[in-house]
Structure 1
Amino acid sequence: MGETGTTIRVLFVSTEYAPFSKVGGLGDVAGSLPKALRRAGVDVRVVTPAWPGVLDRVFASGLKTTVLPERVCAAHDWRIRDAEVVKTEVEDVPVYFLRSEDYMGDMYPWHLDSRTASPFAIFCMQALELHRILKWKPDLYHCHDWTSAFLPCALAWHRHYRHVGGRSIITLHNVAHQGILEREPFMEASGLEPWSFNMEAMEFYGQVNLLKGAIVAANAVTTVSPRYAQEIQTYESTQELSGVIYKQRHKLSGILNGIDTDYWNPDTDRHLPERFSAKNLKGKARAREELLNRAGFAPQSQEPVVVCVSRLVEQKGFTLILSALETLPTLGAKFVFLGSGHGWIENALRQANERHPDIFRFFQGYDEPLSHLLYAGGDIFLMPSVFEPCGLSQMIAMRYGTIPVVREVGGLKDTVTDVDSPEGGNGFTFQTCDTVGMLWALQRATARFRDAEDWDRIRVRAMQEDFTWSKSALLYKALYRKTLL
């Protein structure tokens, strides 16, 4: 186990790597967890595709890069698929970007078939071959979601890789996305043994399910919060896949995500007009004024400012929010939304912007500096998710002293405790997935805001929560050791 017998060698296999390639929370985890693992004594490295524009961002960052003299090669559909390996280091973590024509399209396809799934299979096999040119072989491959789920499947059922040995972990960031496609020509092109297409392996109602295969094949399965690990074993959460997960529950664990507290730090954040901390909130008041000004409201408004930074999709509870749009003016608050996603949600928010310009502002798209201003300048953070594997936004909001209103689900329940609970809390929660529950929590939050002394206590309590990766990194390290026994 490692060159010294004690150091664990782990290769992170991820299709996203923040800040250079990111669609969701997976990119944040791949960009921050390896740093914490490195500090915990794990020899962790990262491999990720160089999607269009990724290397441009790497070069622009000023990081030193090296093109390795050898290319990494793998066989797919009876052809050799090779990639140039560009190495850099991010805070002592070696990162390998694979540059190839296979990664010249969009990161995630709108429609999954054998052609659009092939880059992910190729990426996983190139990750398995990377040790040949690095002269460094991982003890364990840590894979993430369906996009790298082919790797555990290959170690179990590929006509070549099932003979080479190797152990793997698959982390489920969002089970709603499973990598389901037709059997052929994918199975033949992939090199997986035909007999792996059965109900105990890759087959899922007559189709290939990459995530199901990985859950069965991997040595361990993790999710991004303890609560989500429980939820995905129920039919209400994951429908037909719940039986598979329940059957594999002996190797399932939930480890809560953290956030990069160096990056998300109001005391050092370069995007803010004035920095602040729990001991000195003057900068938060300044951020609040700047946000109100940017939103077209009076900077000195005393009404609570409710903010939301989100992908505009049903999962994030926007059916509840849209149903409540005409009730929001009765709460005596300002509302500022930032995000992009489904067109019908964007249109509804734009219409609310037009109907209620005195209380509502919608910024369409994603703007990194503006998101920091919302986190810092808001008083209340709205996140009424239908389901939430972990959620990072509520943690970031609390880090900036913006109190979350969330539904008690998944990682939201693991991180947000209602202020009216016996032990006191850091936010406002509701249970039912309906507008009534959400408005009830919002009404309690806006009412509490008007008690300045009480609100300051809640705010400081939220800002003092520990959402670093330190605890989780030690749990992952322990899991790595257990998996290698």
Structure 2
Amino acid sequence: MRVLMVAAENDRLPNCKVGGVADVIRDIPYALSAQGVVVKVVVPDYGQSHLNRTFVGDIAVPFRQHLETATLWQVEQSDGVTQYVISHSLFSEHQGAIYCNDDHNRPFATDATKFAFFSAAVCEAIEHKMFDDLDVLHLHDWHAACVTVLQTFSPRFVYLKQLKTVYTVHNLALQGIRPFGHDESSLEAWFPTLGYDGQQLCDHHHPHCFNPMRSAICLADKVHVVSPTYSEEVLHSSEPDRGFFGGEGLEHDMQIAKRQGKLVGILNGCEYHENDNAHNITLDQYYNLIDCELLQWMAKQPQLLACHYIAHQRLKNWQCEVSNGPLITSVGRLTDQKALLLRQSYSQGIVLDELALIAANIDARIIILGSGDPHLENLFTQVMSRHENVLYLNGYGQNLGDYLYQLGALFLMPSSFEPCGISQMLAMRAGQPCLVHQVGGLVDTVTHLHNGFAFSGDDLAEQASKLIETFKFALTMYQSNPNQYTQLANNASQARFTWHSSAQEYISQLYEM
């Protein structure tokens, strides 16, 4: 079986990662290859240096009433997997950035054009057998969704139409919606001669707009979401005021996919090695590492940011004071997906304030690592300024995150929705129990009082209250029943969510149609 994976990110390559999809594209090809699948992976070339490029061929791509030339390069071949990038100025003109933040009046405009061209280039390369013969085309998120549109509606492609298509949704909240026409970043501007069925491609709330994600869900042979529980949640309408996030406007299409037998929920995996925790460092060493990172972050800005200054002062105080309490950790992008419950109003502040007060009762410290929404960054900085036991690190460093998984006693992940989640798997792998909201992949990985702590609620207020209650319970167990807590931590470290298992399900449920 021969599979081509098409995505926007790939952590196998340098500087080609923003989110969790990059981890999936890095790992799953090799798990599939170990089971006899020949896998090829292609992503855009964002101008990364240190790629060992081997020229495969130039690709002539009709796009925006011009014939553009892209170039296909092979950049690695090992363990049965071949890695490719496609070069064009559209991909590399933003100084290596994978995504661009367009004005809110024209969301996705730059990226949608870039990824529409990438999809068209992939289609042309497939049609001309530049990847050799294929059996399955596996597309990831909205960035690769235009491949299904061209495959279905363009008469240019004959061989492409013979391939089975699998579409994986990693983040249903980002759908890449653009107008059908009357804009330079629109379906008709990209492919002016394309005849299409607007009923299959339009956005439900904005019928004059093209929804790439909905298009791929409708047109692909299989639709894959990244956990079994999430595959049930997406069948229901989102109710953000109640704190439930499901189909995000595409629940009707997901229901149809379910009835057609197209919808499959398969949990992502995690890499496990015998020496996963062999490079432990002491907390003092970790504080020194934070110090170095903070200084580098400060140097990148012409003016000193309050978040970095307060964090640096807090760190200096911690380095001079001994704490006998547990370390509570959190690692992830600061978005409402991850932090909606933490920012809910509570007592004299927000929920995170209350958690800090509870932690202070047993001399516990909280370290939060992540950046994202400027409003949330500001909120978390304010919480840090109010509580001496809170350190908020507004940035990201691979080592900072990796060591934090190993050093913590309790990992906070109260996501409002979580298609799969990788952070909880990494924390559990390191023997750190997680406190999670019972949604999506968190339900499928964390079992309350067996390998972690879990809460739920019928609305935002109840969810916030249950989060606080469960947090108190977890810290009470840590302090009053250390043997039970140690057993729970051991259970977390023994849990296994392997890519080998995921790959078996990919083959049986997605590829063997």
What number of residue pairs does the alignment pair up? 446
1:258 corresponds to which residue? 269
Identity of aligned residues (%): 29
- 2:415 is paired with a residue whose SS is coil
Deviation at 1:193, TM superposition (A): 6.8
Deviation at 1:39, TM superposition (A): 0.8
1:120 corresponds to which residue? 115
Q: Spell out the pairing of 1:102-181 with structure 2 (5 A cutoff).
A: 102-104=90-92, 105=94, 106-111=97-102, 112=107, 116-131=111-126, 132=128, 134=130, 136-161=132-157, 164-165=160-161, 166-181=163-178
* Amino acid aligned to 1:172: V
Q: Structure 2: any 5+ residue segments left out of the alignment?
A: 239-245, 291-314, 345-349
1:324 corresponds to which residue? 351
Q: Spell out the pairing of 1:434-445 with structure 2 (5 A cutoff).
A: 434-445=463-474
Task: Tell me if 1:376 matches 2:398.
Answer: no
2:222 to 209, 220, 223: 220
Tell me, yes or no, if the aligned pair for 1:426 and 1:459 is still in contact at 8 Å: yes
Structure 2 distance, partners of 1:115, 1:22, is 18
Tell me, yes or no, if the aligned pair for 1:215 and 1:245 is still in contact at 8 Å: yes
Q: After alignment, is 27-36 or 188-197 more displaced?
A: 188-197
* Amino acid aligned to 1:138: L
Structure 2 distance, partners of 1:220, 1:399, is 31
Tell me, yes or no, if the aligned pair for 1:266 and 1:376 is still in contact at 8 Å: no
Tell me, yes or no, if the aligned pair for 1:318 and 1:345 is still in contact at 8 Å: no
Structure 2 distance, partners of 1:90, 1:442, is 47
Structure 1 distance, partners of 2:33, 2:493, is 26
Tell me, yes or no, if the aligned pair for 1:402 and 1:459 is still in contact at 8 Å: yes
Structure 1 distance, partners of 2:373, 2:35, is 40
**1:418-438 CA distance string (max 9 Å, x none):** 01xxxxx11000012432111
Structure 2 distance, partners of 1:164, 1:475, is 25
- 2:217 is paired with a residue whose SS is helix
Structure 1 distance, partners of 2:55, 2:469, is 58
1:199 corresponds to which residue? 199
**1:303-324 CA distance string (max 9 Å, x none):** 1211000111111034425622
The change in CA–CA distance for 1:170 and 1:98 in structure 2 (over 3 A counts) is: same
Structure 2 distance, partners of 1:169, 1:51, is 25
* Amino acid aligned to 2:6: V
Q: Spell out the pairing of 1:326-475 with structure 2 (5 A cutoff).
A: 326-327=353-354, 328-331=356-359, 332=362, 333-357=364-388, 359-419=389-449, 425-432=450-457, 433=460, 434-450=463-479, 451-475=481-505
- 2:143 is paired with a residue whose SS is helix
**1:382-441 CA distance string (max 9 Å, x none):** 00001110000000000011110000000000110001xxxxx11000012432111111
1:31 corresponds to which residue? 26
Aligned alpha-carbon RMSD (Å): 2.3
* Amino acid aligned to 1:144: H
The change in CA–CA distance for 1:18 and 1:86 in structure 2 (over 3 A counts) is: same
Task: Tell me if 1:305 matches 2:327.
Answer: yes
**1:218-270 CA distance string (max 9 Å, x none):** 010000001111101101222431111111212000000012335x963345x
**1:130-161 CA distance string (max 9 Å, x none):** 34363612211100110101111211112423
Q: After alignment, is 186-195 or 130-139 more displaced?
A: 186-195
Deviation at 1:198, TM superposition (A): 2.3
Task: Tell me if 1:17 matches 2:10.
Answer: yes
Deviation at 1:372, TM superposition (A): 1.1
Q: Structure 1: any 5+ residue segments left out of the alignment?
A: 1-7, 60-64, 274-285, 420-424
Deviation at 1:189, TM superposition (A): 3.3
The change in CA–CA distance for 1:302 and 1:121 in structure 2 (over 3 A counts) is: same
Q: After alignment, is 462-471 or 130-139 more displaced?
A: 130-139
**1:417-474 CA distance string (max 9 Å, x none):** 001xxxxx11000012432111111111111112222222111111111122010001
Structure 2 distance, partners of 1:320, 1:220, is 36
Tell me, yes or no, if the aligned pair for 2:264 and 2:509 is still in contact at 8 Å: no
The change in CA–CA distance for 1:100 and 1:40 in structure 2 (over 3 A counts) is: same
Deviation at 1:82, TM superposition (A): 2.2
* Amino acid aligned to 1:309: V
Structure 1 distance, partners of 2:45, 2:228, is 32
- 2:5 is paired with a residue whose SS is strand
Structure 2 distance, partners of 1:39, 1:338, is 35
Deviation at 1:291, TM superposition (A): 4.1
- 1:418 is paired with a residue whose SS is coil
1:76 corresponds to which residue? 63
TM-score if structure 1 supplies the norm length? Answer: 0.86
The change in CA–CA distance for 1:114 and 1:290 in structure 2 (over 3 A counts) is: closer
1:89 corresponds to which residue? 76
**1:332-375 CA distance string (max 9 Å, x none):** 32100101011121112222222222x11111101111111111
TM-score if structure 2 supplies the norm length? Answer: 0.82
